[in-house]
């Protein structure tokens, strides 16, 4: 459940994991101002919702105040593995993937003004470029997102917003080796 990502005060248990999941889903995982469901977003939300039978890997770069942070995520077998390779001794952390029905419902409430705004090529593959607006866990004011969805297989290959760039890959995806996993955190 989405509520498992927050402590009893509503504070994110792990900001990097929650933000990566939120971006990967194209939805927010925290309460946000409720917008009316925007019918223009149905196809976009369907394309950006992870499919349980489609493992993928995300490489994300966030530029904030002149600093660049990188993170990685792997989604496989209903688990999302995340790490920040910039951190010393970075290890992967495993988190159960949130309930997709809840994530879709949240995306429908927080995503608006979706439109296919053009075509492009990414790594030689034809893409439909979508523009949408969504609230995020960090900013209730809707942010503009640009999303590259393959014209041939319907998968998302890139997403970007103010200071955030994500590349999504579907080939040769596997879970991290057990030796690369961080020890689970003990809850107080």
* Number of domains the chain contains: 1
What is the domain extent for residue 113? 2-172
Give the confidence band of 88 by pLDDT, cuts at 50, 70, 90.
Answer: low
The mean pLDDT of 46-70, rounded to a whole number, is 90
The mean pLDDT of 54-68, rounded to a whole number, is 92
Give the confidence band of 122 by pLDDT, cuts at 50, 70, 90.
Answer: very high
Exposure string over 140-158, b if 16+ CB within 10 A, otherwise e: eebbebbbbbbeeeebbbb
**What integer best gives the mean pLDDT of the chain?**
79
User: What pLDDT, on the 0 to 100 scale, is given for residue 119?
Assistant: 96
How far apart are the C-alpha atoms of 58 and 14, rounded to whole Å? 18
DSSP of 62-126, one letter per residue?
Answer: EEETTEEEEEEEEEETTEEEEE-TTSTT--BEEEEPPPHHHHHHHHHHHEEEEEEEEEEEETTEE
Read off the CATH number of the domain in which 57 is found: 2.50.20
User: What pLDDT, on the 0 to 100 scale, is given for residue 188?
Assistant: 66
How far apart are the C-alpha atoms of 137 and 82, rounded to whole Å? 18
In-domain check, residue 155: yes
In-domain check, residue 21: yes
Residues sharing a CB contact under 8 Å with residue 93, sequence separation 6 or more, in sequence order: 14, 17, 81, 82, 83, 181, 182
Q: Which tokens sit at 30?
A: 């925290």
Give the model confidence (pLDDT) of 151-174 as tens digits: 999 999 999 998 999 999 999 999
Give the confidence band of 105 by pLDDT, cuts at 50, 70, 90.
Answer: confident
User: What pLDDT, on the 0 to 100 scale, is given for residue 103?
Assistant: 82
Give the confidence band of 37 by pLDDT, cuts at 50, 70, 90.
Answer: low
User: What CA–CA distances, in Å, run from 170 to 77, 81, 117?
Assistant: 14, 15, 24
In-domain check, residue 181: no
């Amino acid at each position: 459940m989405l509520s498992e990502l927050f402590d009893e005060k509503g504070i994110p248990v792990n900001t990097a994991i929650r933000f990566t999941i939120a971006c990967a889903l194209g939805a927010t995982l925290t309460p946000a101002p409720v917008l009316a469901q925007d019918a223009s977003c149905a196809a976009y939300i369907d394309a950006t919702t992870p499919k349980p039978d489609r493992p993928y890997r995300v490489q994300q770069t966030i530029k904030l105040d002149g600093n660049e942070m990188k993170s990685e995520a792997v989604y496989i077998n209903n688990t999302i593995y995340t790490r920040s390779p910039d951190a010393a001794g970075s290890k992967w952390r495993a988190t159960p993937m949130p309930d997709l029905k809840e994530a879709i419902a949240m995306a429908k409430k927080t995503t608006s003004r979706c439109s296919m705004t053009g075509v492009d090529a990414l790594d030689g593959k034809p893409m439909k470029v979508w523009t949408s607006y969504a609230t995020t866990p960090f900013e209730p004011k809707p942010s503009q997102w640009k999303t590259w969805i393959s014209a041939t297989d319907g998968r998302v290959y890139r997403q970007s917003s103010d200071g955030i760039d994500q590349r999504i890959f579907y080939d040769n995806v596997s879970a991290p080796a057990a030796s690369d996993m961080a020890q689970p955190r003990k809850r107080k």
